[in-house]
């Protein structure tokens, strides 16, 4: 079984987000970047399937500028086999991303595509579902547990009412949730090995894929600061008195 994992380079989750001076995007200059946490979980799950002898090859795909190679190398250092960088300066929407990923899923004869359920920068949560639609493959989203049975995948997914277990035939698209696993740290020997693993660099324009944006971003702004002051109370009796005197609360 061949697996493709799509990863995205995003602002590190520990960094406080700032808006750039032009007020049209998040500031990324001189800001720590890392692999999207949900994608890191997707890479880890692919590696665990390979360690069980269920996967023959893991390909990491990412889309963006030349520097995105660093994110791909991180996944290779974790244990993936090869990488694909689709190089572009354009900011792609989920539909365009799904089209590009589907191209390589079909070209490389992939059996299972694993994606993080969403990216922490835009929170769209759409690419995996759109990819399944384009490929006409079954999908299992928000996976918290994955078990392979013959030519199917048993996927436990988190829904509003609790947990739901579904069975999907392969090939399939799976998107990962936080509780699926805890990603490993890359060891120093593996980091060194990753430098020699192959990464195919392909210009997006050469793929002849329609990547026209359907959305127009008008502006980007920070949320308003919260007003008001904090009043410390001695006991619950004081709290009840405050609530009684505040109109519309009690």
pLDDT of residue 158: 85
Count CB neighbours of 181 within 10 A: 20
Q: How wide is the angle at C-alpha 79 spanned by C-alphas 4 and 158, nearest 5°?
A: 55
pLDDT of residue 247: 64
pLDDT (tens place) for every residue of the chain, 250 residues total: 999 999 999 998 888 888 887 777 788 888 898 999 999 999 999 999 999 999 999 999 999 999 999 999 999 999 999 999 999 998 899 999 999 999 999 999 999 999 999 999 888 999 999 999 999 999 999 999 999 998 999 999 988 888 999 999 999 999 999 999 999 998 899 999 999 999 999 999 999 999 988 888 888 888 777 766 777 888 888 888 888 887 666 6
Rounded Cα distance, 111 and 174, in Å = 11
Model's pTM, two decimal places?
Answer: 0.85
pLDDT of residue 223: 79
Give the domain ranges of the chain.
2-245
Q: Hey, which residues does 115 pair with through a beta bridge?
A: 6, 175
pLDDT of residue 97: 95
Q: How far is CA 64 from CA 68, 84, 86, 91, in A?
A: 6, 11, 6, 8
The fold of the 2-245 domain, in CATH, is Rossmann fold (3.40.50)
In this structure, what are the phi and psi dihedrals at residue 99, rounded to the nearest 5 degrees? -65, -45
């Amino acid at each position: 079984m061949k697996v493709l994992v799509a990863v995205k380079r995003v602002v590190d989750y520990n960094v406080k987000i700032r808006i750039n001076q032009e007020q049209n995007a998040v500031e990324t200059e001189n800001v720590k970047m890392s692999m999207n946490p949900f994608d890191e979980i997707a890479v880890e799950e692919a590696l665990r399937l390979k360690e069980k002898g269920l996967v023959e090859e893991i390909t990491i795909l990412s889309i963006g500028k030349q520097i995105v190679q660093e994110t791909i190398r991180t996944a290779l250092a974790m244990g993936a086999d090869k990488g694909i960088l689709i190089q572009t300066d354009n900011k792609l929407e989920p539909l365009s991303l799904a089209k590009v990923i589907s191209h390589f899923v079909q070209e490389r004869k992939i059996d299972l595509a694993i994606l993080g359920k969403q990216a922490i920068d835009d929170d769209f949560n759409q690419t995996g579902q759109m990819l399944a639609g384009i490929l006409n493959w079954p999908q299992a989203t928000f996976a918290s547990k994955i078990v392979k049975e013959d030519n199917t995948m048993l996927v436990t997914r988190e829904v509003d009412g609790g947990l739901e277990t579904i069975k999907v035939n392969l090939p399939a698209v799976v998107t990962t949730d936080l509780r699926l696993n805890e990603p490993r740290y890359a060891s120093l020997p593996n980091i060194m090995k990753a430098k020699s693993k192959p990464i195919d660099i392909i210009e997006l324009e050469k793929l002849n894929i329609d990547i026209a944006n359907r959305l127009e971003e008008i502006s980007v702004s920070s949320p308003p600061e919260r007003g008001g002051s904090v009043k410390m109370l001695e006991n619950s009796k004081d709290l009840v008195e405050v609530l009684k005197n505040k109109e519309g609360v009690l």
